[in-house]
Amino acid sequence: MDAFKWNPAELLKLSGSYWSTCALHAGVKLDLFTPLASQPRTAAELASELGFAERGLAMLLDALAALELLSKQGERYAATPFAADFLNRAAPGYLGHIIMHHHHLVESWSRLDEAVREDTPVRRRVSHEPTPMERESFLLGMFNLAMLMAPKIVTQVDLSGRRKLLDLGGGPGTYAIHFCQQNPQLQGVIFDLPTTRPFAEQTLARFAMTERIRFEAGDFLTDPLPQGCDVAWLSHVLHGEGPSGCAQLLANTVAALEPGGLLLVQEFILDADRTAPLFPALFSLNMLLGTSQGQAYSEPELDGLLRQAGLVGIERLVVNLPNGAGIMLARKA
């Protein structure tokens, strides 16, 4: 395949691509896909039902139809089968929470030049200082993503013989749940900030896992970690910290693990020269916008951090994951 070559048309397409993004965000924020998944409606009917102005709504519906997220027959709009599965609040696969999390990041991304110039975050740290709406979108957005990834990951990570899993910074506990479903002998503990507890407990109840998995509140950099675990899962936790914070977090985790314990790290992993894959490179900028030291890490950098923590048998698992995500495995001697 020929290498991609920039031209003025592609450059301007990229420059204006946020128009499509904002149309999607507006459709989700206004919850247009849910009613249109149940039955077709005209713009006038939907405007009357939702209390919106018809003119602007019709324009947005046409744009969403142009994006092939809605279909239009005559004057009636309906959700496409894909939108009915993933943008309809009533659907099990609903991804609106992660989309709204992305929406809440837009303002800070418009100030990227400021963050680069000053090397300072320009938004509150979403995991620590969110508004209630931001917290819900962030935590349930993480649930959205994990529900897509976890079923694939847990079948490719061998936890046979392991007794207790520490899901560090586990949010709603989606990975802990799927690991325990895959490994009947396994119990788990989710360790995260106190504000995460309601979301985690609701998710555990939804999956009937309250007897096998518990939630423990705390800050993983400053508070004692749960003891007695022989496997630790750190999913997209390290990128929120600088190298020294990562070193401290890994040292704390290793100290809490049982001898011979297994440590698994999932991150968006950069190549050694840090210019690919694209998503981790862009994600590093997202960390610049919202944290004082956070960043995406390369595979050699993660390997070095794990070695510094005294771990052995370090390897990258062969798991085909999207957006440059990867899993590093290591063991406590």
Assess whether 102 carries a catalytic annotation.
Answer: no
- Return d(Cα 222, Cα 235) in angstroms, integer: 19
43-50 vs 54-66: helix crossing angle, rounded to 10: 120
Structure token pair of residue 317: 């698992």
- Return d(Cα 20, Cα 22) in angstroms, integer: 5
**The Cα angle at residue 202 between residues 201 and 205, in degrees rounded to 5:** 85
Q: How many CB atoms lie within 10 A of CB 189?
A: 21
Annotated catalytic residue, options 25, 97, 178, 239:
239
Strands 164-168 and 187-192: parallel
Q: Which residues are catalytic?
A: 239
